[in-house]
Amino acid sequence: MILTNVDGGFSGAGFNDNFGNLWIRQEWDLHKPMHPAEIYRRTSTVEDIYEWRDRTVVKQVVHLWSADDELMARGTHHQSYLLGKSHLGTVKLRDPKKKEGIRKFNVPEGEAIGPVESDITIEMCGSFFHGNKNYHTDKQAAEELGFEEVVVGGRMTMSYIGDMMDRRFGKGWYEGGKLDIKFTNIVWPDDHVIARGVITDRVQENGGTRANVAVWMEKPDGTVCIVGTASALE
């Protein structure tokens, strides 16, 4: 949850036209855990700007370094924008039930790991974003960016995936974890979300074992809001 702040809120790496902007993908390679009261350094680079459907996506890569220049983590952030569409007033969102890839989502075969679930409240959103007024915490701010309701932040929802992996793998996660997820549907206040994972296989790595995990987050009605892969050392 803390590590996802390394991208600095995407500061300096996005467009000024924020209408309809959404996270679409996050990738992480974890090497060492962060500790309170220590000072870390962040470097950031825009690696690409590309088109995806009707959106323009900025691909930003961030590195977190320790005081003695050890690499703590590497993250790749994909932020999408609806440039020049603010005149539309409201972002047109596809019906989750009509998305072909999501409708056909099947639970992978393998060893299920303990799920992590939670009710999402608007109060939680405010606490998570430190009381800042933005489209993740305030309905008026969300409407200004084309959304009819507060958009629960991707930084917040993906934290449940990390929590699930941490509970199952512990040190093997925060000292060797990998994550690659896509955000497939928006989470709204008052939604109930469930992070799930299935260990699909294990491979040998540097004398140890790495567990590969299919991860996803769903709502009780079956709507999948995050889907991807993760892995950790065992």
Whether 113 contacts 198, CB under 8 Å: yes
pLDDT of the residue at 93: 86
Over residues 171-188, the mean pLDDT reads: 96
pLDDT of the residue at 2: 74
pLDDT of the residue at 166: 96
- For strands 178-183 and 224-233, give the pairing: antiparallel
Of residues 41 and 132, more confidently modeled: 41
Q: How far apart are CA 91 and CA 191, in angstroms?
A: 20
Please report, rounded to a whole number, the percentage of residues in the chain having pLDDT higher than 90: 76
pLDDT of the residue at 10: 58
Give the range of the structural domain holding residue 212, as residue numbers without chain letter: 3-233
Of residues 66 and 106, more confidently modeled: 66
Q: How far apart are CA 63 and CA 53, in angstroms?
A: 28
Q: How far apart are CA 142 and CA 180, in angstroms?
A: 27
Which positions ≥6 away from 42 have C-beta within 8 Å? 6, 8, 62, 63, 64, 65
Q: How far apart are CA 43 and CA 45, in angstroms?
A: 7
Q: Give the model confidence (pLDDT) of 12-39 as tens digits.
A: 788 999 999 999 999 999 999 988 888 9
- The CATH number for 47's domain is 3.10.129.10
Q: Give the model confidence (pLDDT) of 96-114 as tens digits.
A: 766 554 445 788 999 999 9
Q: How far apart are CA 6 and CA 3, in angstroms?
A: 6
φ and ψ at residue 10, rounded to 5 degrees: 65, 25
Provide the Cα torsion 26, 70, 128, 199; round to 10°. Answer: 50
Overall number of domains in the chain: 1
pLDDT of the residue at 104: 59
The neighbour count for residue 123, using CB atoms within 10 Å, is: 10
pLDDT of the residue at 52: 94
Q: Give the model confidence (pLDDT) of 203-214 as tens digits.
A: 999 899 999 999
Whether 27 contacts 180, CB under 8 Å: yes
pLDDT of the residue at 5: 72
